[in-house]
Amino acid sequence: MLPEADLARIYRSLRLIRRAEEETARIYPSDRIKSPVHLAIGQEAVATGICDPLRPEDVVAPTYRSHALYLAKGGSLRGMMAEMYGKATGVAAGKGGSMHLIDAARHVLGASAVVGTTIPLAVGYALALKREGKGRVAVALFGDGATEEGVFYESLNFASLHRLPVLFVCENNGFAIHTPLAKRWASEKLCDRAAGFGLPTTRIADGDVLAIRESAAGYVEKMRKRESGPAFMECLTYRWREHVGPAEDYDAGYRPHSDLEAWQKTDQVARIGGMLKAEARAKVDAAIEAEIADAVAFAEQSPWPDPKELTADVYA
Ligand SMILES: Cc1ncc(C[n+]2csc(CCOP(=O)(O)OP(=O)(O)O)c2C)c(N)n1
Protein backbone atom coordinates (compact mmCIF):
# COMPACT_ATOMS: atom_id res chain seq x y z
CA MET A 1 0.00 0.00 0.00
CA LEU A 2 1.21 3.51 -0.84
CA PRO A 3 2.17 5.92 1.95
CA GLU A 4 -0.75 7.97 3.28
CA ALA A 5 0.64 11.21 1.80
CA ASP A 6 0.66 9.71 -1.71
CA LEU A 7 -2.88 8.39 -1.31
CA ALA A 8 -4.06 11.77 0.01
CA ARG A 9 -2.53 13.56 -2.99
CA ILE A 10 -4.12 11.12 -5.45
CA TYR A 11 -7.48 11.35 -3.68
CA ARG A 12 -7.31 15.14 -3.73
CA SER A 13 -6.87 15.13 -7.50
CA LEU A 14 -9.68 12.61 -8.11
CA ARG A 15 -12.08 14.37 -5.79
CA LEU A 16 -11.29 17.89 -7.03
CA ILE A 17 -12.08 16.84 -10.61
CA ARG A 18 -15.27 15.04 -9.56
CA ARG A 19 -16.58 17.90 -7.46
CA ALA A 20 -15.56 20.66 -9.88
CA GLU A 21 -17.46 18.88 -12.65
CA GLU A 22 -20.48 18.11 -10.46
CA GLU A 23 -20.59 21.79 -9.57
CA THR A 24 -20.31 22.69 -13.27
CA ALA A 25 -23.26 20.38 -13.99
CA ARG A 26 -25.27 21.92 -11.12
CA ILE A 27 -24.69 25.50 -12.32
CA TYR A 28 -25.10 24.71 -16.03
CA PRO A 29 -28.94 24.89 -16.34
CA SER A 30 -28.84 28.46 -14.91
CA ASP A 31 -27.17 29.57 -18.18
CA ARG A 32 -24.42 31.35 -16.25
CA ILE A 33 -21.94 28.93 -17.84
CA LYS A 34 -21.90 30.08 -21.45
CA SER A 35 -19.92 27.27 -23.06
CA PRO A 36 -20.78 23.68 -23.95
CA VAL A 37 -19.23 21.28 -21.43
CA HIS A 38 -17.85 17.78 -22.05
CA LEU A 39 -17.69 16.30 -18.57
CA ALA A 40 -15.30 13.53 -17.54
CA ILE A 41 -17.20 12.45 -14.42
CA GLY A 42 -16.27 8.76 -14.04
CA GLN A 43 -13.02 9.17 -16.01
CA GLU A 44 -10.99 10.97 -13.32
CA ALA A 45 -8.62 8.05 -12.71
CA VAL A 46 -6.94 8.36 -16.10
CA ALA A 47 -5.82 12.00 -15.85
CA THR A 48 -5.00 11.63 -12.17
CA GLY A 49 -2.97 8.43 -12.59
CA ILE A 50 -1.07 9.82 -15.56
CA CYS A 51 -0.29 13.22 -14.03
CA ASP A 52 0.75 12.02 -10.59
CA PRO A 53 4.26 10.94 -11.70
CA LEU A 54 4.75 14.06 -13.82
CA ARG A 55 6.88 17.02 -12.80
CA PRO A 56 5.49 20.57 -12.99
CA GLU A 57 7.68 21.27 -16.04
CA ASP A 58 6.36 18.28 -18.03
CA VAL A 59 3.86 19.07 -20.76
CA VAL A 60 0.34 17.73 -21.34
CA ALA A 61 -1.85 18.05 -24.42
CA PRO A 62 -5.59 17.89 -23.69
CA THR A 63 -8.75 17.46 -25.79
CA TYR A 64 -12.09 19.24 -25.56
CA ARG A 65 -12.96 16.85 -22.66
CA SER A 66 -10.13 18.38 -20.71
CA HIS A 67 -11.25 19.55 -17.26
CA ALA A 68 -9.76 16.42 -15.67
CA LEU A 69 -6.34 16.63 -17.30
CA TYR A 70 -6.17 20.40 -16.82
CA LEU A 71 -6.93 20.13 -13.09
CA ALA A 72 -4.78 17.03 -12.55
CA LYS A 73 -1.80 18.94 -13.99
CA GLY A 74 -2.48 21.82 -11.60
CA GLY A 75 -4.38 24.18 -13.93
CA SER A 76 -6.06 27.16 -12.26
CA LEU A 77 -9.62 26.34 -11.16
CA ARG A 78 -10.49 30.04 -10.98
CA GLY A 79 -9.28 30.53 -14.55
CA MET A 80 -11.24 27.50 -15.76
CA MET A 81 -14.49 28.52 -14.09
CA ALA A 82 -14.21 32.11 -15.32
CA GLU A 83 -13.49 30.82 -18.83
CA MET A 84 -16.67 28.73 -18.81
CA TYR A 85 -18.60 31.80 -17.63
CA GLY A 86 -17.16 33.75 -20.59
CA LYS A 87 -15.49 36.29 -18.30
CA ALA A 88 -12.43 38.43 -19.05
CA THR A 89 -10.48 36.67 -16.27
CA GLY A 90 -10.83 33.25 -17.91
CA VAL A 91 -7.77 31.40 -19.17
CA ALA A 92 -8.63 32.33 -22.76
CA ALA A 93 -10.00 35.77 -21.79
CA GLY A 94 -13.52 34.38 -22.03
CA LYS A 95 -13.29 33.64 -25.76
CA GLY A 96 -12.60 29.90 -25.68
CA GLY A 97 -14.89 28.26 -23.14
CA SER A 98 -14.57 24.77 -21.74
CA MET A 99 -13.16 23.24 -24.94
CA HIS A 100 -10.21 25.65 -25.16
CA LEU A 101 -8.58 25.54 -21.75
CA ILE A 102 -4.90 26.37 -21.47
CA ASP A 103 -2.49 27.04 -18.62
CA ALA A 104 0.95 27.86 -19.97
CA ALA A 105 2.43 28.30 -16.48
CA ARG A 106 1.42 24.73 -15.60
CA HIS A 107 2.47 23.45 -19.03
CA VAL A 108 -1.06 22.53 -20.10
CA LEU A 109 -1.08 23.11 -23.87
CA GLY A 110 -4.17 24.65 -25.47
CA ALA A 111 -7.07 22.24 -25.90
CA SER A 112 -8.91 21.92 -29.20
CA ALA A 113 -12.42 20.92 -30.23
CA VAL A 114 -11.13 19.18 -33.33
CA VAL A 115 -10.67 15.46 -32.63
CA GLY A 116 -7.07 14.22 -32.76
CA THR A 117 -5.43 17.58 -33.40
CA THR A 118 -3.54 17.88 -30.11
CA ILE A 119 -1.74 14.54 -30.55
CA PRO A 120 0.79 15.93 -33.08
CA LEU A 121 1.22 19.04 -30.91
CA ALA A 122 2.43 16.80 -28.08
CA VAL A 123 4.79 15.06 -30.52
CA GLY A 124 6.19 18.37 -31.73
CA TYR A 125 6.66 19.48 -28.16
CA ALA A 126 8.41 16.20 -27.36
CA LEU A 127 10.84 16.86 -30.21
CA ALA A 128 11.65 20.24 -28.65
CA LEU A 129 12.02 18.65 -25.20
CA LYS A 130 14.38 16.01 -26.55
CA ARG A 131 16.57 18.73 -28.04
CA GLU A 132 16.39 20.70 -24.82
CA GLY A 133 17.87 17.66 -23.04
CA LYS A 134 16.53 18.29 -19.54
CA GLY A 135 14.60 15.04 -19.18
CA ARG A 136 11.16 16.59 -19.55
CA VAL A 137 8.38 14.57 -21.17
CA ALA A 138 5.15 15.31 -23.06
CA VAL A 139 1.85 13.48 -22.68
CA ALA A 140 -0.97 13.30 -25.22
CA LEU A 141 -4.33 12.27 -23.79
CA PHE A 142 -7.11 11.51 -26.26
CA GLY A 143 -10.28 9.48 -26.70
CA ASP A 144 -10.79 6.22 -28.58
CA GLY A 145 -12.40 8.22 -31.40
CA ALA A 146 -9.18 10.14 -31.95
CA THR A 147 -7.38 6.90 -32.84
CA GLU A 148 -9.47 6.84 -36.03
CA GLU A 149 -7.76 9.96 -37.33
CA GLY A 150 -4.83 9.48 -39.69
CA VAL A 151 -2.74 11.94 -37.71
CA PHE A 152 -2.78 9.53 -34.76
CA TYR A 153 -0.83 6.93 -36.76
CA GLU A 154 1.48 9.53 -38.29
CA SER A 155 2.22 10.76 -34.79
CA LEU A 156 3.00 7.27 -33.45
CA ASN A 157 5.34 6.62 -36.36
CA PHE A 158 7.20 9.93 -36.16
CA ALA A 159 7.60 9.74 -32.38
CA SER A 160 8.82 6.15 -32.52
CA LEU A 161 11.23 6.81 -35.39
CA HIS A 162 12.83 9.72 -33.52
CA ARG A 163 12.58 8.13 -30.04
CA LEU A 164 10.72 11.15 -28.66
CA PRO A 165 9.83 11.44 -24.97
CA VAL A 166 6.06 11.34 -25.42
CA LEU A 167 3.52 9.17 -23.65
CA PHE A 168 0.41 8.49 -25.72
CA VAL A 169 -2.62 7.76 -23.56
CA CYS A 170 -5.94 6.65 -25.00
CA GLU A 171 -8.85 7.23 -22.63
CA ASN A 172 -11.05 4.52 -24.05
CA ASN A 173 -14.59 5.17 -22.82
CA GLY A 174 -16.05 2.92 -25.52
CA PHE A 175 -17.96 5.61 -27.45
CA ALA A 176 -17.39 8.35 -30.00
CA ILE A 177 -20.46 10.42 -29.13
CA HIS A 178 -23.08 7.60 -29.36
CA THR A 179 -21.26 5.10 -31.58
CA PRO A 180 -19.70 2.11 -29.79
CA LEU A 181 -16.34 0.58 -30.66
CA ALA A 182 -17.97 -2.51 -32.20
CA LYS A 183 -19.44 -0.32 -34.97
CA ARG A 184 -16.15 1.53 -35.59
CA TRP A 185 -13.16 -0.77 -35.15
CA ALA A 186 -12.45 -3.89 -37.20
CA SER A 187 -10.32 -5.06 -34.28
CA GLU A 188 -10.42 -3.87 -30.69
CA LYS A 189 -6.71 -4.66 -30.28
CA LEU A 190 -5.63 -1.02 -30.10
CA CYS A 191 -2.40 -1.84 -28.25
CA ASP A 192 -1.43 -4.22 -31.05
CA ARG A 193 -1.87 -1.41 -33.56
CA ALA A 194 0.37 0.89 -31.51
CA ALA A 195 2.91 -1.92 -31.01
CA GLY A 196 3.09 -2.18 -34.80
CA PHE A 197 4.88 1.17 -34.76
CA GLY A 198 7.50 -0.17 -32.34
CA LEU A 199 6.07 1.25 -29.11
CA PRO A 200 5.85 -0.58 -25.79
CA THR A 201 2.19 -0.75 -24.74
CA THR A 202 0.06 -1.28 -21.64
CA ARG A 203 -3.67 -1.85 -21.43
CA ILE A 204 -5.43 -1.19 -18.14
CA ALA A 205 -8.96 -2.51 -18.34
CA ASP A 206 -10.40 -1.83 -14.88
CA GLY A 207 -9.78 1.90 -14.38
CA ASP A 208 -7.47 1.29 -11.41
CA VAL A 209 -5.85 4.67 -10.75
CA LEU A 210 -2.89 3.12 -8.94
CA ALA A 211 -2.16 0.75 -11.83
CA ILE A 212 -2.40 3.64 -14.31
CA ARG A 213 -0.04 5.68 -12.14
CA GLU A 214 2.48 2.86 -11.83
CA SER A 215 2.52 2.16 -15.54
CA ALA A 216 2.88 5.85 -16.45
CA ALA A 217 5.63 6.32 -13.85
CA GLY A 218 7.63 3.44 -15.32
CA TYR A 219 7.42 4.75 -18.87
CA VAL A 220 8.13 8.35 -17.91
CA GLU A 221 11.17 7.43 -15.84
CA LYS A 222 12.73 5.54 -18.76
CA MET A 223 12.04 8.42 -21.13
CA ARG A 224 13.64 10.94 -18.80
CA LYS A 225 16.82 8.86 -18.78
CA ARG A 226 16.63 8.33 -22.54
CA GLU A 227 16.43 4.59 -21.96
CA SER A 228 13.37 4.45 -24.19
CA GLY A 229 11.42 6.39 -26.76
CA PRO A 230 7.65 6.88 -26.70
CA ALA A 231 5.15 4.53 -25.08
CA PHE A 232 1.45 3.86 -25.45
CA MET A 233 -1.22 3.26 -22.83
CA GLU A 234 -4.84 2.31 -23.32
CA CYS A 235 -6.94 2.98 -20.22
CA LEU A 236 -10.50 1.70 -20.29
CA THR A 237 -12.92 4.00 -18.52
CA TYR A 238 -16.56 5.08 -18.55
CA ARG A 239 -18.23 8.43 -19.15
CA TRP A 240 -21.07 8.67 -16.63
CA ARG A 241 -22.86 11.67 -18.18
CA GLU A 242 -23.96 12.53 -21.73
CA HIS A 243 -21.34 13.26 -24.42
CA VAL A 244 -21.82 17.00 -24.09
CA GLY A 245 -23.88 18.67 -21.39
CA PRO A 246 -24.59 18.15 -17.71
CA ALA A 247 -27.19 15.36 -17.80
CA GLU A 248 -27.33 11.57 -17.85
CA ASP A 249 -28.51 10.04 -21.13
CA TYR A 250 -29.37 6.42 -20.38
CA ASP A 251 -32.81 6.95 -21.94
CA ALA A 252 -31.19 7.70 -25.33
CA GLY A 253 -30.95 3.97 -26.02
CA TYR A 254 -27.31 3.64 -27.01
CA ARG A 255 -26.04 2.18 -23.74
CA PRO A 256 -27.65 0.45 -20.77
CA HIS A 257 -27.75 1.83 -17.24
CA SER A 258 -26.28 -1.48 -16.03
CA ASP A 259 -22.93 -0.49 -17.61
CA LEU A 260 -22.86 2.61 -15.42
CA GLU A 261 -23.71 0.56 -12.34
CA ALA A 262 -20.84 -1.85 -13.09
CA TRP A 263 -18.31 1.00 -13.36
CA GLN A 264 -19.69 2.73 -10.29
CA LYS A 265 -18.82 -0.34 -8.24
CA THR A 266 -15.13 0.39 -8.86
CA ASP A 267 -15.39 4.18 -8.61
CA GLN A 268 -11.85 5.32 -7.87
CA VAL A 269 -12.89 8.46 -5.97
CA ALA A 270 -14.70 6.32 -3.41
CA ARG A 271 -12.02 3.60 -3.47
CA ILE A 272 -9.03 5.83 -2.78
CA GLY A 273 -11.06 7.97 -0.37
CA GLY A 274 -11.84 4.78 1.54
CA MET A 275 -8.12 4.09 1.99
CA LEU A 276 -7.65 7.35 3.92
CA LYS A 277 -8.32 7.91 7.59
CA ALA A 278 -11.72 9.61 8.02
CA GLU A 279 -10.18 12.73 9.46
CA ALA A 280 -7.63 13.12 6.64
CA ARG A 281 -10.35 12.59 4.05
CA ALA A 282 -12.66 15.16 5.66
CA LYS A 283 -9.85 17.70 5.61
CA VAL A 284 -9.23 17.19 1.88
CA ASP A 285 -12.97 17.35 1.15
CA ALA A 286 -13.41 20.59 3.07
CA ALA A 287 -10.44 22.23 1.33
CA ILE A 288 -11.83 21.24 -2.08
CA GLU A 289 -15.30 22.63 -1.32
CA ALA A 290 -13.70 25.93 -0.28
CA GLU A 291 -11.59 26.02 -3.44
CA ILE A 292 -14.60 25.40 -5.67
CA ALA A 293 -16.76 27.97 -3.89
CA ASP A 294 -13.94 30.49 -4.31
CA ALA A 295 -13.62 29.73 -8.03
CA VAL A 296 -17.36 30.05 -8.63
CA ALA A 297 -17.48 33.36 -6.74
CA PHE A 298 -14.46 34.56 -8.72
CA ALA A 299 -16.18 33.68 -12.01
CA GLU A 300 -19.46 35.30 -10.98
CA GLN A 301 -17.82 38.52 -9.80
CA SER A 302 -15.40 38.85 -12.72
CA PRO A 303 -16.12 41.42 -15.45
CA TRP A 304 -17.28 40.62 -18.95
CA PRO A 305 -14.67 41.12 -21.68
CA ASP A 306 -14.58 44.63 -23.11
CA PRO A 307 -16.36 44.65 -26.52
CA LYS A 308 -13.20 46.26 -27.91
CA GLU A 309 -11.44 42.93 -27.22
CA LEU A 310 -13.68 41.12 -29.71
CA THR A 311 -11.11 41.01 -32.51
CA ALA A 312 -7.94 40.97 -30.35
CA ASP A 313 -5.90 37.74 -30.62
CA VAL A 314 -8.15 36.56 -33.44
CA TYR A 315 -6.50 35.51 -36.68
CA ALA A 316 -7.93 37.22 -39.74
C1 LIG B 1 -11.95 16.02 -36.80
C2 LIG B 1 -13.27 15.93 -36.11
N3 LIG B 1 -14.18 15.04 -36.56
C4 LIG B 1 -15.37 14.93 -35.94
C5 LIG B 1 -15.69 15.74 -34.87
C6 LIG B 1 -17.05 15.59 -34.17
N7 LIG B 1 -16.85 14.94 -32.87
C8 LIG B 1 -16.81 15.66 -31.74
S9 LIG B 1 -16.55 14.71 -30.41
C10 LIG B 1 -16.46 13.31 -31.32
C11 LIG B 1 -16.23 11.97 -30.67
C12 LIG B 1 -14.83 11.73 -30.26
O13 LIG B 1 -14.76 10.63 -29.42
P14 LIG B 1 -13.49 10.29 -28.57
O15 LIG B 1 -12.26 10.71 -29.28
O16 LIG B 1 -13.59 8.87 -28.17
O17 LIG B 1 -13.58 11.24 -27.28
P18 LIG B 1 -14.67 11.32 -26.13
O19 LIG B 1 -15.70 12.35 -26.55
O20 LIG B 1 -15.26 9.97 -25.90
O21 LIG B 1 -13.91 11.82 -24.95
C22 LIG B 1 -16.65 13.59 -32.67
C23 LIG B 1 -16.65 12.59 -33.73
C24 LIG B 1 -14.72 16.68 -34.45
N25 LIG B 1 -14.95 17.50 -33.40
N26 LIG B 1 -13.52 16.73 -35.06
pLDDT of residue 274: 98
Output the CA 185–ligand 1 centroid distance in Å: 15
Atom of ligand 1 nearest to the CA of 243: 19
Q: Cα 129 to chain center, whole Å?
A: 21
In angstroms, the CA 248 to CA 232 distance is 31
Question: Does residue 281's CB lie within 6 angstroms of at least one atom of ligand 1?
Answer: no
Question: Does residue 177's CB lie within 6 angstroms of at least one atom of ligand 1?
Answer: yes
pTM of the model: 0.98
85-116: pLDDT as tens digits: 999 999 999 999 999 999 999 999 999 999 99
Tell me the pairing of strands 179-180 and 175-176. Answer: antiparallel
Amino acid at 136: R
Helix spans in 104-149 (H): 118-132
162-213: pLDDT as tens digits: 999 999 999 999 999 999 999 999 999 999 999 999 999 999 999 999 999 9
pLDDT of residue 121: 98
CATH superfamily of 4-175+186-302: Thiamin diphosphate (ThDP)-binding fold, Pyr/PP domains (3.40.50.970)
Question: Does residue 143's CB lie within 6 angstroms of at least one atom of ligand 1?
Answer: yes
pLDDT of residue 293: 98
pLDDT of residue 313: 85
In angstroms, the CA 109 to CA 100 distance is 10
Question: Does residue 234's CB lie within 6 angstroms of at least one atom of ligand 1?
Answer: no
Return the SS3 of 172. strand
Instruction: Please tell me the number of Cα atoms within 13 Å of 144 on its side-chain side.
Output: 26
Question: Does residue 246's CB lie within 6 angstroms of at least one atom of ligand 1?
Answer: no
| pLDDT tier for residue 130 given thresholds of 50, 70 and 90 | very high
In angstroms, the CA 46 to CA 17 distance is 11
Torsion sign across C-alpha atoms 104, 108, 114, 117: positive
Amino acid at 254: Y
